[in-house]
């Protein structure tokens, strides 16, 4: 049985021999696509990161991840998609099984029978989830659990928490050959109303660039948490909030708190966000939380994770 390492081992591990690197560039896969040859990334200027990505994919393969078929790989790279990058290598978690891992449902929710495809993009400088997820670093402690699960052939709990029980989940790893670039957004400029020389139309807020890079400082996080009044006798949980800068913050809340309460928490934790227009979304599956009067229980994000998207 192969020895499965964790991400923390890879962070400290020195480079293997060139034989290992050659093995990662070309090998024959197993699973239902047995016999398919896969060619991986070529040399990368950032040798350390290249070795880490090599090891991540190798561990996932040893744990049973199967290689995506050429059709599935082509679908990821097809022209006209919102993606402007290509996969050289693709894997599906749970390759030793006939279908992707299933979260067992309550009977009332067992009607969902088509798989939800979740793409994890592995770039030369980090990783992202979905088409528009933020860049996340391999080295951040908060991402250790995520990658340790993948290297053991398991679906990360972060993904399971954010999807309805009973939904078949098809998690796919894509190795990208370039650095991460933020998703392209439609042009948002400033203009002028006819007859008004100096009344700009609504355009991109000058504060947005600052807010998108702002971290939550520890003292601000403490102050924000104090303002959330926990109710005696009610169940207490946490909601993870991924900031635009990539930082993950967590709010300790009751199920009866509202999405609006989370907005207040975020603004206190990151004051610069109070000057920008944004909303909460979920990336897996894609959802937007426009009704902020909903309770966390009603929105089904109690003990879940959400993200911030600028308008």
How confident is the model over 5-26, as pLDDT tens digits? 555 555 555 444 444 443 333 3
CA distance 235 to 221: 21
pLDDT of residue 142: 76
Which of 60-74, 116-130, 207-221, 225-239 is predicted with the least confidence, judged by mean pLDDT? 60-74
Give the CATH class of 7-176: alpha beta
Which of 89-98, 105-114, 204-213, 300-309 is predicted with the least confidence, judged by mean pLDDT? 105-114
Token duo for residue 270:
């990151």
Residue intervals in the chain for CATH 3.10.20.90: 208-310
SS3 219: helix
C-alpha 82: how far from chain center: 17
pLDDT of residue 123: 87
Q: Is the pLDDT of residue 206 over 60?
A: no
Residues 6+ apart with CB under 8 A from 160: 103, 169
CATH for the stretch 208-310: 3.10.20.90
Nearest Cα residue to 278 out of 191, 208, 203: 208
Residues above pLDDT 90, as percent of the chain: 21
- 41-69 pLDDT tens trace: 444 446 777 777 788 778 877 877 776 66
Token duo for residue 9:
């081992």
CA distance 239 to 212: 20
pLDDT of residue 14: 43
Residue intervals in the chain for CATH 3.30.420.210: 7-176
List helix spans (H) across the chain. Answer: 7-12, 18-25, 47-62, 70-77, 144-151, 157-161, 208-213, 218-227, 259-269
């Amino acid at each position: 049985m192969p020895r499965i390492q964790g991400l923390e081992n890879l962070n400290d591990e020195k480079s293997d021999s060139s034989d290992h690197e050659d093995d990662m560039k070309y090998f024959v896969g197993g699973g239902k696509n047995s016999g398919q040859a896969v060619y991986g990334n070529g040399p990368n200027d950032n040798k350390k990161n290249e070795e880490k990505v090599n090891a991540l994919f190798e561990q996932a393969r040893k744990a049973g991840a199967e290689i995506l078929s050429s059709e599935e790989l082509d679908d990821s790279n097809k022209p006209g998609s919102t993606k402007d990058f290509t996969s050289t290598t693709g894997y599906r978690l749970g390759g030793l099984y006939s279908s992707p891992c299933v979260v067992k449902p309550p009977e009332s929710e067992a009607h969902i029978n088509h798989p939800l495809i979740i793409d994890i993009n592995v770039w030369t400088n980090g990783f992202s989830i979905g088409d528009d997820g933020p860049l996340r670093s391999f080295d951040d402690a908060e991402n250790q659990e995520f990658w340790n699960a993948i290297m053991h052939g398991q679906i990360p709990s972060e993904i399971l928490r954010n999807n309805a029980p009973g939904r078949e989940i098809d998690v796919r790893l894509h190795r990208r050959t370039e650095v991460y670039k933020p998703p392209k957004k439609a042009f948002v400029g400033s203009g002028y109303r006819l007859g008004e020389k100096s009344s700009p139309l609504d355009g991109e807020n000058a504060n947005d660039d600052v807010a998108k890079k702002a971290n939550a400082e520890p003292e601000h996080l403490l102050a924000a948490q104090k303002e959330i009044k926990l109710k005696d006798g009610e169940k207490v949980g946490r909601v993870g909030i991924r900031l635009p800068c990539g930082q993950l913050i967590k709010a300790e809340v009751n199920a009866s708190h509202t999405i609006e309460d989370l907005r207040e928490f975020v603004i206190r934790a990151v004051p610069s966000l109070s000057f920008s227009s944004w909303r909460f979304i979920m990336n897996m599956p894609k959802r937007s939380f426009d009704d902020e009067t909903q309770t966390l229980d009603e929105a089904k994000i109690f003990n879940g994770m959400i993200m911030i998207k600028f308008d």
